[in-house]
Structure 1
């Protein structure tokens, strides 16, 4: 029984180690960081997209004004407008168009400056996001390597458990498994120096006399914790 308990303890330790690898916590933290970085990147990309659209709209707004200005200037230059009043009106309109073009170009320049800043921010956030993805990939690789190693050990221990359990009567094995499930993974404990190593309580003298007189194949139980007690040369009987 102690051999089986030792194997089960090793299996429990391996399972605990597998579930509590530092990489799990690192990946949880990285997942939050990656999510935040992804949201920030999407926000930056959206801003760049909006500003690119605004820049194109600025060009769209400017083009007809420039073309009208060119046409008016050509009419003045080719002398096709003979009426002085009409000519003065064209000159005045050109001045108005020049102011309008200036305002639109200033607005476009402001958009271009904002776009330049937005692109720089987007690129920085993209680099930060890529760095986090690389970190996550490295941590995942380390985790998977350790998990593979632990799974290999678990497989070996499982095989060993099957071999050890095969020599234990089915009823005793079932009782042991039930006890183990309800007692923190320990269903069988050594009686060592008159003490149950499961609950660490000393066995009273009367029980010790009964244990000493019991047949070798009799299943003993700790009166305090209920675990199966296994006698050894160190039991103090």
Structure 2
């Protein structure tokens, strides 16, 4: 309990994670029962990876005199979970680009110098027959550049709404003339469609093709999948 949950570093990791800090547990088994009972499957998976990365961090500090940050622990947990899930489904081979783009990251990180990050999210309001699309651009210093929220009327599935959000963001980025952009999303289906050559005659497939064409016009565009906790700003804009 102390090493993985209650020490000051571990506690900060949990407070900063999408799982949150769960105190007042008499044992690690009690803590596990609480997590598996009350958390979603994705949060349970993240929680186990965070435990592992906290343990690795502890060993690195004791045996190798290496000090890592809370952000490094959380993002490495999300990235390794993403790699594990991809390997299980045999989606594709994971290479060094995964580490660079932080696929599956849990918290936001600044891009490399000369690049900007655009976080995109969509919100579906089925009862009102509309969707809201939000995106936030930040530079390599982590500074705010611009944000946008656009509404659309109609009946759309969640993945169609997320894909429309990417298309809207790319159209907007084209106007800004930003040649080096990392577009981040928390919808794995859309990310896979954009990066694995998906095509189809239906609405979703056509939106994905539009996104690819816009990306080619803009310049160097990289797509990245992140956990919702790392996409909070765009989620908030879409819900505003």
TM-score, normalised relative to structure 2: 0.23
Which of structures 1 and 2 has the larger relative contact order (alpha carbons within 8 angstroms, sep 6+)?
A: 1
Q: Which has the higher helix share?
A: 1
Larger-gyration structure (1/2): 1
Q: Which has the higher strand share?
A: 2
TM-score, normalised relative to structure 1: 0.24
